[in-house]
Amino acid sequence: MVDPIIAEAAAEIAARAESELEALVGVSSPSGDLAGAEDAIAVCRELLPAGATRERVACSTPGGAPDFLATLAGAGERRILLLGHVDTVFAHEAHAPMQRKEERLYGSGTADMKGGVVLALGVARALATRPQRFAELAVLLVTDEEWRTAPFTHTERFAGFDACLCFEAGERGPGGEEAVVVRRKAAGTLRVRAAGRAAHSGSAPDQGRNALLAVAAAAQAVAAHHDPRGPDRLSAVPTVLHAGTAFNVVPAAGELMCDLRADRLEAFQAVFAAVPDEVGGATLEATMLRLWPGMDTEEVTAPVLARASSRLGRTILGVPRGGASDASHFAASIPLSVDGLGPRGGGAHTPGEFVLAASLRERAEVAMAVAVEALG
């Protein structure tokens, strides 16, 4: 049996969630697009509780649209942060507005993570009606989560908060339980640039220094460290390679991008060191563009999830997930950090991205139960 307080709040959130999601997904907001970010933030502003202080704060990415922060003072003792992002991976020409097909709501960013943003704003409205439960309620929506390589700027501002709830997409546990994310791998982006020498590939190929072969060798060196079942659960995956300007010219320059994931940031050092300095006369330069910490809040969150499960009348299970999230940046300074509170769906980062309509209410119940217990 769901606690009546949770049931009532979730029903109110769910009653509005589908139309709110349609409005937010209707805005095309790819990472780095200033106008799209502004339009998405404008939709979110209208969904906040009355009385919330609204401000724009510096984005972590230089030149990016300012992030959005809303705060509300209460009469309680604990401070809680609700976290999300409004940017997507879809360019404007690939953007698809929301469409309902039976039980699924399709559209760009529905699962990652505009569905979660809608639930976060709904939870904020519900908590705002009970100011005795919190000292400060903050909602932080960033505009650059998908493609950020710069250091995250918001950790210090919220250090010492009692709880951080992040609304990336939700999931089921192995037994069908409601699941939230309490462990994430560290993430890194490795860039390798090659400098060679151009030459005619037909009449004088050996006068060149082939940058394509150099970055290809670097890709093989990186992939050789891929060991997801090893002690650090390291994945090392070359993902993008560019080289050459014409079919009959020895490539003088090349670039390789690799995605790295592991339980520890330190595990990336061996991959970085494996990139050779030179291949066939072409020189290589490796750079780590992005380093996101891992997250492990399983022990701290376990008693909160147990109490929330009792309040909800069904089990909420803490699970690991491989993908990166801004929750990881807060986990070290806010030990009670829980992620994956958004609706369930699938196809993130693909044209078939969707959320399950029924999960909007179900996950609103989960988020409210966790929020209430996180506030004690």
Phi then psi for residue 253, to 5 deg, are -145, 150
Give the span between the Cα atoms of 296 and 342, in whole angstroms.
19
The correct CATH number of 186-292 out of 3.30.70.360, 3.40.640.10, 1.10.357.10, 3.40.50.300 is 3.30.70.360
Give the span between the Cα atoms of 233 and 17, in whole angstroms.
37
What are the tens digits of pLDDT across the range 298-330?
A: 999 999 999 999 999 999 999 999 888 999 999
4-185+294-374 and 186-292 in the same fold: no
Q: Which residues contact 157 (CB under 8 A, 6 or more apart)?
A: 57
What average pLDDT score do residues 227-238 get?
A: 96
Q: Where are the domains of the chain?
A: 4-185+294-374, 186-292
What are the tens digits of pLDDT across the range 204-213?
A: 999 999 999 9
Among residues of the chain, what percentage have pLDDT more than 70?
Answer: 100
Amino acid 67: pLDDT: 98
What are the tens digits of pLDDT across the range 94-149?
A: 999 999 999 999 999 999 999 999 999 999 999 999 999 999 999 999 999 998 98
Q: How confident is the model at residue 346 (pLDDT cuts 50, 70, 90)?
A: very high
Strands ordered across the beta sheet of 345-346: 99-101, 104-106, 354-356, 345-346
Which CATH topology does 4-185+294-374 take? Aminopeptidase (3.40.630)
User: What is the chain's length?
Assistant: 376
What average pLDDT score do residues 242-258 get?
A: 97
Which residue in 159, 137, 114 sits closest to 54, CA to CA?
137
